[in-house]
Amino acid sequence: MRRYISAYFTDEEDLLRASKILMEKEISILDVLTPFPVHGLDKVLGLKESKLPTVGFIAGAIGTIFAFGFQTWAFVVDYPLFIGGKPHFAIPAFIPITFEVTVLFAAFAMVFAFLFRSKLGLGAKNKIHDERITDDRFVIIIDANESDEHFENVKNILEHEDAHDIQLKENQ
Amino acid sequence: MYVSPIREPLIKGNKTYSQITKDIAAPIEGKPGKAWYMGISLSLSAMFLGLAMMGWTIWEGIGTWGLNRTIGWGWGITNFVWWVGIGHAGTFISAILLLFRQKWRTSINRSAEAMTIFAVLCAGLFPLIHMGRPLLAFFVFPYPNTRDLWVNFNSPLLWDVFAISTYLLVSLLFWYMGLIPDIGTMRDRVKSKAKKFIYGLLSFGWTGSVKHWQRHEKLSLILAGLAAPLVLSVHSIVSADFATSIIPGWHTTIFPPYFVAGAIFSGFAMVLTLLIVTRKVLNLENYITLAHIESMNKIIIATGSIVGIAYLTELFISWYSGVEYEQYAFLNRAAGPYWWAYAIMMTCNVISPQLLWFRKLRRNLVFTFILSIFINIGMWFERFVIIVTSLHRDYLPSSWSMYKPTLVEVGIFVGTLGLFFTCFLLFIRAFPVIAIAEVKTVVKSSGEKEIKNETL
């Protein structure tokens, strides 16, 4: 059983300000749920940069090597065919397919990495905290420890920053 | 980001976040109107006609088409190139305009991307049917087979296979990843249990967590970075189908940029055709405003002028080259038996978009709608001119011939139009036509506000 505090905001500016103050007071924020990407929020919460571009680069590089290598192997080693008297190892002719395969590999790898890391996917059973989050509510979820003092403290800060509906909830 | 108060607002009507959700979700939640039922019955009929004609082609053989020994590519490849071109506007809007941080794309990117996918589907059908035996279509992929042969990696037709399939898959990924948060919105709005289950499944369990958004943003940016060169490569490769063959009128180095500009030109025309109707029928005039229409018209005039310059360059170079075959090919295009197709192409693609220099016309919906249809027709004729007029006069005068499409070919084209519009009509009933979450990010900086006098 774990307890947490949830608070609602109706404006992303209030949310940003409140998050900043909570971070400064070293109160641990478990998650922030928003209807759209709030710019700068990840910086305020000190989230690490996403490594998706690296995944894309590595997968793309594999795609490049695979596509170019395969075409070369098929046309130079496995079954050299004369086509219009052109060279077997025809680099310019291999470029278009190499490029397409690079893009294909990078795109698929990044999408799957994104879904995998975020635990999203067909039939994912993530807890929907509130149905209004995908509409116009911004929710901040804060770790609650046993002391009532902590809750009052957090509540004061949040109320001061225009939060609504500050509640202490329990996870089952 | 600072936005000048002189700029026209991108979202009108002083909307709150909740109103945006409600307005965009309304067409899905409400009952479809009479216009929708009429539209879908018309497009379904067209689609079934097309299916029948495709069935006939496969049953009876490619001889049911008007092709002959001299003209091996006609209506089918014309339609293929036309449809691929139309798809390009979607990726241009969602990828290239994202990289250029153009905020006006948020209102139109979703529907344009959907259009891309449907257009590429329609395009892909033509080479498939043209093979004559579509059940053996998998022969085009390099897989280990009993004949120990590989496909020809030097052939632009094979590059096309890779380009079109990659383009379709990457567009699909890009579109669906953008849809996930909005499907989440739909999941949280719908009341019926069945709908909630389906949207819940399709939303991939979206919660709106800040970490997910951070990754989502990164993913969109990098996918856009990949899709931008991809879209340029696809039509370049399509143009290589022609440019790498030694046929006067095809064998030119100008083809890739000229085809890409033409593709974006025709794609934007199709986006306008669709959106001018959609915004009216779905009451989305506050989101797809006259400012959006005008911006698209500006892209049309830019790309249309590039196409015009390309036509003139082609003519000049054919004369300047001193190659008599090349000179004859272009003279024959303009003044030969297919002069009327060339004239339609020139009028629709070069002359008519120049009218958009007038601001009044750029912001006139009726004019824009008619012009967009003109451009669609003109760009279809461009491909027809390139393919048929270049082929019908062979090197040997004894091989000279003429091409006329049969009813079967026309029927298949009408069928793909039916497929395209059926898909689009189903799409506007199932998913939000405007990216809800993305519009919410721009409404504060670029939405309509109460008039403030302090700066002006």
Reported ipTM: the value is 0.92
**Cα-Cα-Cα-Cα dihedral sign, residues A120, A126, A129, A131:** positive
Same domain, A64 and A93: yes
Q: Name the residue in chain A with its Cα closest to that of B16.
A: A136
Which DSSP letter does residue B76 get?
H
pTM: 0.92
pLDDT at B54 (0 to 100): 93
Same domain, A70 and A113: yes
Residue A85 belongs to a domain = yes
Phi, psi of A7 (to 5 degrees): -140, 145
Does residue A101 contact residue A63 with C-beta atoms inside 8 Å? yes
pLDDT at A16 (0 to 100): 87
Q: Which positions of chain B have pLDDT values less than 50?
A: 451-456
Contacts of B159 in chain A (CB under 8 A): 96-97, 100
Q: Does B201 touch chain A (CB under 8 A)?
A: yes
CB count in 10 Å sphere of residue A47: 14
Per-residue pLDDT at A83 exceeds 70: yes
Residues composing chain B: 456
Closest Cα in chain A, distance from residue B15 (Å) = 12
Does residue B287 contact residue B106 with C-beta atoms inside 8 Å? no
Closest Cα in chain A, distance from residue B264 (Å) = 20
Same domain, A59 and A97: yes
Residue A70 belongs to a domain = yes
Angle of helix B210-243 relative to helix B75-91, nearest 10 degrees, comes to 150
Tell which of B149, B210, B237 to mutate to test the A interface (max A CBs under 10 Å). B210
Q: Does A141 touch chain B (CB under 8 A)?
A: no
Place of tokens 């087979």: B145
pLDDT at B456 (0 to 100): 42
Question: Helix-strand-coil percent breakdown of chain A, rounded to 5?
Answer: 50, 15, 35
Alpha carbon distance A55, B144 (integer Å)? 29
Residue A16 belongs to a domain = yes
Q: Exposure string (b/e) for A51-76, b if CB count within 10 Å is 16 or more?
A: ebbebbeebbeebbeebbebbbebbe
Q: Does A136 touch chain B (CB under 8 A)?
A: yes
Same domain, A60 and A105: yes
Tell which of B143, B148, B153, B177 to mutate to test the A interface (max A CBs under 10 Å). B153
pLDDT at B344 (0 to 100): 94
Same domain, A20 and A59: no
Residue with the bigger pLDDT between A163 and B265: it is: B265
Q: Exposure string (b/e) for B203-218, b if CB count within 10 Å is 16 or more?
A: bbbbbbbbbbbbbbbb
pLDDT at B395 (0 to 100): 87
Closest Cα in chain B, distance from residue A64 (Å) = 14
Contacts of B437 in chain A (CB under 8 A): 35-37
Q: Is B431 left (phi over 0), alpha (psi -120 to 50) or beta?
A: beta
Residue A129 belongs to a domain = no
For chain B, positions 167-186, list CB contacts with chain A under 8 A. 169-170, 173-174, 177, 180-181, 184-185
Does residue A66 contact residue A112 with C-beta atoms inside 8 Å? no
Tell which of B207, B220, B221 to mutate to test the A interface (max A CBs under 10 Å). B207
pLDDT at B453 (0 to 100): 45
Q: Does B320 touch chain A (CB under 8 A)?
A: no
Report the 3 state secondary structure along B156-197: HHHHHHHHHHHHHHHHHHHHHHHHHHHHHHHHHHCCCHHHHH
Same domain, A80 and A110: yes
- Number of domains forming the structure of chain A: 2
Ranges of H-type helices in chain A: 12-24, 41-44, 52-72, 91-117, 148-160
pLDDT > 90 in chain A, percent: 32
**Chain centroid offset of residue B293 CA:** 17
In order of B52, B53, B79, B117, B122, the CA distances from B415 in angstroms are 9, 8, 11, 17, 9
Same domain, A60 and A106: yes
Q: How far apart are the first and last CA of chain B?
A: 19
Same domain, A57 and A110: yes
Name the residue among A33, A115, A132 with its Cβ closest to that of B207: A33
Give the type of residue at B430.
A
Q: How far apart are the first and last CA of chain A?
A: 6
- Which residues are registered as beta bridge partners of A31? A141
Same domain, A57 and A107: yes
Does residue B401 contact residue B70 with C-beta atoms inside 8 Å? yes
pLDDT at A172 (0 to 100): 54
Closest Cα in chain A, distance from residue B243 (Å) = 13
Residue A64 belongs to a domain = yes
- Asked whether the beta carbons of residue B21 and residue A135 sit closer than 8 angstroms, the reply is yes
Alpha carbon distance B110, B186 (integer Å)? 15
Q: Exposure string (b/e) for B396-415, b if CB count within 10 Å is 16 or more?
A: eeeeeeebebbebbebbbbb
Same domain, A76 and A112: yes
Nearest by Cα to B296 from B232, B351, B362, B355 = B362
Contacts of A136 in chain B (CB under 8 A): 16-18, 21
Same domain, A86 and A61: yes
Alpha carbon distance A149, A151 (integer Å)? 5
Alpha carbon distance B401, B262 (integer Å)? 28
Residue A42 belongs to a domain = no
Q: Name the residue in chain B with its Cα closest to that of A57.
A: B222
pLDDT at B4 (0 to 100): 63
Alpha carbon distance B46, B434 (integer Å)? 27
**Chain centroid offset of residue A86 CA:** 47
Does residue B368 contact residue B290 with C-beta atoms inside 8 Å? no
- Write down which residue in A117, A144, A159 finishes a domain: A117
Which two structure tokens, joined as six digits, stand for A31? Answer: 């998650």
Alpha carbon distance A36, B181 (integer Å)? 8
Place of tokens 């890739």: B256
For chain A, positions 150-169, list CB contacts with chain B under 8 A. none
Which DSSP letter does residue B393 get?
S
Q: Name the residue in chain B with its Cα closest to that of A72.
A: B153
Per-residue pLDDT at A153 exceeds 60: yes
Residue with the bigger pLDDT between B297 and A163: it is: B297
- Supply the CATH number for residue A166's domain: 3.30.70.120
pLDDT at B347 (0 to 100): 92
Contacts of B230 in chain A (CB under 8 A): 100, 103
Q: Does A63 touch chain B (CB under 8 A)?
A: no
pLDDT in tens, A19-65: 888 888 888 888 899 999 988 888 888 888 889 999 999 999 999 99
Range of the domain at A158: 2-35+136-171
Residue A63 belongs to a domain = yes
pLDDT at B1 (0 to 100): 56
Residue A124 belongs to a domain = no
pLDDT at A146 (0 to 100): 67
Same domain, A30 and A56: no
